[in-house]
Structure 1
Amino acid sequence: MSVATQTPDQVKPPLAERLRLRLDFLPTVAAVVIFVGMIIYGEAAYGRVVQMNTISNLFINNSHLIILAVGLTFVILTGGIDLSVGAVIAFTSVSGVMLINAGWNAWLVVAVMIATGGLFGLFSGVLIQYFNVQPFIATLSMMFLARGLASMLSTVPERLPEDSSILVLATQIKLIDGPKVNDLVITPGVIIAILVVAVGWFILHRTRTGRTVYAIGGSEPSAALMGLPVHATKMWVYVISGLLAGLAAVVYTTRLGIAQNITGVGWELDAIAATVIGGTLLTGGVGFVLGSVVGALVLGLMNVLITRDGGVPPEATTIITGGILLIFVLLQRAVLAKQRD
């Protein structure tokens, strides 16, 4: 049948399919709306929110969280979870700084830190894929292992040498010279986070691996029946999460110049929250890397507004984060229920 003789229903996707795609975008759109609303509220209530130095600090201070959120997006899209990333950051950062202080080449240590993170991810993937351990339990065990190893290495802050070459990753690069201190600046750490987002988006939306990730989250048995490399892909998503945890450790450690065994406590939950707020369904199969970036920025801006307010105790941050997360989980359930209708 030629295109000219096709009916509109034959040319266009079915209405149900188009509606499903729109519903998939709904949580991400909601995250963008909340982010914009927070900016408007902050500017009206406190002022000096919509300015270049605030935007700069938002990205600089949350570059490590953006990197973590990208890794968690891969994992959660398959219907899994990774609770180890915060502890992996602690271990890789402490061990990395100690190696540099012992005289190792700084850039070699960076590679070792990233590879070490990937190794933790590989262990998690093996436990999940070949020993049928639930992702929650497997990554929880890796969390305790990494945190314990970090504490065995050191219980005091370990400082990078002031002349360490990797501190260049925290060097501020001025893009726009604004009035007074209102400059638009970035750091190599921010550039790394942007590159991670770009590569993550490309893999998920332009490669067979990405299509397999979505297929596994949609229905793992169906993905296997279609001949997709389910086992290898599930292994790789945890390796990717571990590698990005190691990379986040590099970015964060160079920004602060110190490493501690208590670094990263609760960061896995922040990364999961950012991913869910950005529209990735906890059941898997639906989500977007760019949405996870928005989710990370929502959490970062929330901290900025709480600091600007001054009357809200810092402890309330976790309460507000939990409230926002609950709203998005309920929104996800509503979307899933609508899709089943």
Structure 2
Amino acid sequence: MMPVSFLRRASHAPWFTSMVTVVLLVLMLVVGAMGYDGFLSPQVMLNLLIDNAFLLVVAIGMTFVILSGGIDLSVGSVLALTTMVAAFLLQNWHWPPLLVMAAVLLMGAGFGAAMGALIHYFRLQAFIVTLAGMFLARGLCYLISINSITIDDPLFVTLSQTRIEFAGLFISPSVVIALLVLAVAIWMAHGTRFGRAVYAIGGSEQSALLMGLPVGRTKVLVYAFSGFCASVAGLLFSFYMLSGYGLHAQGVELDAIAAVVIGGTLLTGGYGYVAGTLTGVLILGVIQTLIAFDGSLSSWWTRIFIGALLFVFCVAQRVISLGALRGKPAGSAKAAPAGA
């Protein structure tokens, strides 16, 4: 009876879906190791990070937005716009690369902050505002150029081709940047007043207002951070592709949302962990790697598996939410997660 009782209590805990994600990742790795030679080789595992570094950074920004109870559909378009602006400034105006990097990061943060201000101060729905932002950013890409712009700047080429080698293995500079963003984001979420305000707003915006928290400023900063992360990801994508193009990163916003949800963050806001998003990104990468190793399945099977996982995790989140509500006395407020 004790294990059953423990599992029942655990299934209603906010960290339960994050733990399920970790178990699922381990099971997928075991299946891959049993089915395909070399699947668990260290370099194959590092390639997961190399290929998905930009997605991890986008998903980190998305995690904060979803934790606050919002959504950001513009991140893929902001990523593409970043590649286009960077390529145009480098190739046409011949700006120094470091100045280009600073400019596009400010652009992404400003774009996100503007959407956050519209959402909060004009009481607009995040879905509609960020959908408009998605169309606007993607359209601006084609205003710059309808064609791909090749980047041949020496610094960008060097960052694209550099391998950081250790113990016979290698990673790219993009992986280091993505992991640094992850470390900073974890600290922001769990070690700052800003992070605690994000959790509180996601739990109950009205309660956060009554507690005297800076709700408006926090929501604007959340979307600014999401835009900033999208621009960082755009730079990483520029290193990866050495080009700017309006068709880059189509659907990345949906991949980021999927990674966040599979990583254990509740779509209703208030519960979740930034570290869980890394697990979600790795699961998406492992699905792609399994299909590549199999060789007989179309790449569209990736979408099928991701869709099935999302159904499962959305149902699990709903069960957790209902269980948490049943376990509370009437009128009690939604509690923030431990460590938040």
Partner of 1:101: 91
| Identity among equivalent pairs (%) | 42
Which of 138, 145, 151 lines up with 1:160 in the alignment?
A: 151
TM (normalized to structure 1)?
0.91
Match of residue 142 from structure 1:
133
The number of aligned residues is 319
Native 8 Å contact 1:107 1:166 kept in 2 = no
Give the structure 2 partner of residue 125 of structure 1: 116
- In the alignment, the residues of structure 2 paired with residue 40 and residue 132 of structure 1 have an alpha-carbon distance, to the nearest angstrom, of 48
Q: Is the 8 A contact 1:214 1:286 kept in 2?
A: yes
Aligned AA (1:176): A
1:231-278 CA-to-partner distances (Å, cap 9, x unmatched) read 100110000000000000001111221221001110000000000000
Residue number in structure 2 paired with 1:4: none
Deviates more, 1:55-64 or 1:20-29: 20-29
Give the corresponding residue for 1:320.
305
- Is 1:47 the counterpart of 2:37? The answer is yes
Write out aligned runs for 1:245-324 (5 A): 245-324=230-309
Q: By how many angstroms is 1:20 displaced? A: 7.4
CA distance in 1, matches of 2:121, 2:235: 30
The offset of 1:21, in angstroms, is: 9.7
Separation in 2, partners of 1:277, 1:159:
35
Kindly state the Cα deviation for residue 166 of structure 1 after the two structures are TM-superposed.
Answer: 2.8
The letter of the residue matching 2:184 is: V
Q: Kindly state the Cα deviation for residue 154 of structure 1 after the two structures are TM-superposed.
A: 1.5
CA contact (8 A) 1:20 1:339 kept: no
The answer for the alignment partner of 1:116 in structure 2 is 107
The equivalences for 1:197-212 within 5 A come to: 197-212=182-197
Return the alpha-carbon distance in structure 2 between the equivalents of residues 302 and 172 of structure 1: 25
Larger deviation, residues 21-30 vs 256-265:
21-30
- Structure 1 segments of 4 or more deviating over 4 A? 19-22
Listed one character per residue, the Cα deviations across residues 144-180 of structure 1 (whole Å, up to 9, x for unaligned) are 000001012122221111x521333331111111xxx
Q: Which amino acid aligns with 2:117?
A: V
The change in CA–CA distance for 1:210 and 1:281 in structure 2 (over 3 A counts) is same
Distance in structure 2 (CA, Å) of the matches to 1:47 and 1:40: 12
For 1:180, the equivalent position in structure 2 comes to: none
- The residue aligned with 1:74 is 64
Asked if structure 1 preserves the Cα contact closer than 8 Å seen for 2:57 and 2:233, the reply is: yes
RMSD: 1.7
Q: In the TM superposition, what is the alpha-carbon distance from 1:50 to its structure 2 partner?
A: 0.9
Displacement after TM superposition at 1:51 (Å): 0.8
Verify the 8 A CA contact 2:11 2:320 in the aligned structure 1.
no
Measured in 1, the distance between the counterparts of 2:267 and 2:149 equals 36
**Which of 80, 85, 99 is the aligned partner of 2:75?**
85
**Where does residue 331 of structure 2 map in the other structure?**
none
| Partner Cα separation in structure 2 for residue 21 and residue 99 of structure 1 | 51
Q: In the alignment, does 2:19 pair up with 1:33?
A: no
Q: TM-score when scaled to structure 2?
A: 0.91
Assess, with a 3 A threshold, how the Cα gap between structure 1 residues 46 and 21 changes in structure 2: closer, same or farther. closer
Which runs of no fewer than 5 residues in structure 1 stay unpaired? Answer: 1-14, 178-183
Distance, in Å, in 2 between the alignment partners of 1:304 and 1:316 is 12
Matched letter for residue 19 of structure 2:
V
Flag structure 2 segments of 5+ consecutive residues without an equivalent: 327-340
1:47, CA displacement in angstroms? 1.9
Q: Aligned with 2:249: secondary structure?
A: coil
